[in-house]
Amino acid sequence: MKRKKSYIIATVIIVILILIVAGLAVRTYIKQKQPQEAAGPLEQGERTAIAVRITPVVKGTIENSVMINGDVLAVNQVSIYSTMGGKITETLFSVGDRVSQGTVVAMVDPSRPGQIYSESPVVSTIGGTILQAPVRRGDTVSTQTAVYVVGDLSSLMVETFIPERFSNAARRGLAALVMLEALPGEVFNAVVAEISPVLDPASRTLRIRLLFTGNADARIKSGMFATISLVTNTHRDVPVIPRGAIINTYGSWIVFVADENNIVSRREITLGLENEELIEVIQGLETGELVVSQGQNFLSDGDLIRIVE
């Protein structure tokens, strides 16, 4: 009996000793393993460079413009009226015909029932081309009814109406670009030649007229639909960067500037004029500094970058 008890006690002691030794071995293994694992990331490299494109800050010219629609008209275009009311007995010209100043273009019979009068001639007050012929033989007209519209097609203009918010920017001599629906892909230069002194109270727009500059193009015709890019403001010799380089963060505009070690720093800037491609920097950048123009959305202050051409 005593021998059996001694055997059990010895077995328990051996098991306890085995557990103690195993625990010490595991602890030693963990201590040896931890330094190696901690050193692993450092051996792979201190930082991961982010691929970006950069653009230098340069001085250039930037323009603000507004896109509006208009119509091509003859510069000298007038409506021809009869001096007497009555019935049109004869129209002597059609649309497209040329007339001279003083030419009789139509005849009007001013007779009333029970009365007989001789026909009254309608005379063109200018020389040019018949643009419109709104009445026909047999129509009754008054002295306020246009019988013909005559225009001098040797000189054309563009008439358009600009919104009220841009009305103060309109001035004579302001440059503009004109695109015509009938001539896609071509751009014509023009300048503002006439500005209405008042706004239209119904549409809140200001009527302006532009003259084409350079040699006359015979393909441009009165009545064509035009799209006008009107330059409302111009800044020359100012720092500019691509629009895509800027980021809006909580109401502030920022860019990332790269140094000679390819480390970027976050920079808050003040913006000026802008167009579809460029934007003016009023404050925060100097000419020659390198800004990240692509890939900046993944950057943080102090990141390492890899410049991609």
Domain co-membership, 225 together with 277? no
Helix-then-strand count for the chain, H and E: 1, 19
Domain co-membership, 136 together with 112? yes
pLDDT in tens, 233-259: 888 999 999 999 999 988 899 999 999
Q: What is the chain's alpha carbon radius of gyration, rounded to the nearest angstrom?
A: 42
Mean pLDDT by 10 residues, the chain (309 residues): 63 73 65 47 60 93 88 90 93 92 94 82 92 92 94 89 88 91 92 93 93 86 91 88 91 92 94 88 93 90 89
Closest CA to 242 of 165, 295, 300, 173: 295
Q: How far is CA 4 from the centre of its chain?
A: 100
Q: Using DSSP bridges, classify how beta strands 98-99 and 128-132 pair: parallel, antiparallel or unpaired.
A: antiparallel
CA distance 223 to 111: 37
CA distance 176 to 216: 16
**pLDDT (0 to 100) of residue 36:** 43
**pLDDT (0 to 100) of residue 43:** 44
**pLDDT (0 to 100) of residue 47:** 65
Q: How far is CA 255 from the centre of its chain?
A: 22
- Paired strand residues for 54: 292
Element (H, E) at 182: none
**pLDDT (0 to 100) of residue 261:** 92
Domain co-membership, 137 together with 176? no
In the chain, the number of structural domains is: 4
Domain co-membership, 254 together with 301? yes
Domain co-membership, 84 together with 143? yes
Is the Cβ–Cβ distance between 151 and 79 less than 8 Å? no
Q: What is the CATH number of the domain that holds 175?
A: 2.40.30.170
Q: CB-based burial of residue 170 (10 Å sphere; 0-12 exposed, 13-18 middle, 19+ buried)? A: middle
- The domain boundary residue, chosen from 118, 152, 186: 152
Q: What is the DSSP letter of 223?
A: T
Domain co-membership, 180 together with 137? no
Q: What is the CATH number of the domain that holds 128?
A: 2.40.50.100
Domain co-membership, 91 together with 103? yes
**pLDDT (0 to 100) of residue 250:** 85
**pLDDT (0 to 100) of residue 7:** 63
Closest CA to 56 of 276, 269, 291: 291
Is the Cβ–Cβ distance between 231 and 210 less than 8 Å? no
- Paired strand residues for 281: 271
Q: What is the CATH number of the domain that holds 297?
A: 2.40.420.20
Domain co-membership, 89 together with 143? yes
Q: CB-based burial of residue 228 (10 Å sphere; 0-12 exposed, 13-18 middle, 19+ buried)? A: buried
Whole domain around residue 194: which residue ranges? 65-70+154-233
CA distance 34 to 36: 5
Q: CB-based burial of residue 227 (10 Å sphere; 0-12 exposed, 13-18 middle, 19+ buried)? A: middle
pLDDT in tens, 110-138: 988 777 788 899 999 999 899 899 999 99
Domain co-membership, 57 together with 36? no
Is the Cβ–Cβ distance between 252 and 270 less than 8 Å? no
Domain co-membership, 27 together with 54? no
CA distance 90 to 122: 10
Domain co-membership, 241 together with 229? no
CA distance 20 to 167: 92
**pLDDT (0 to 100) of residue 44:** 42
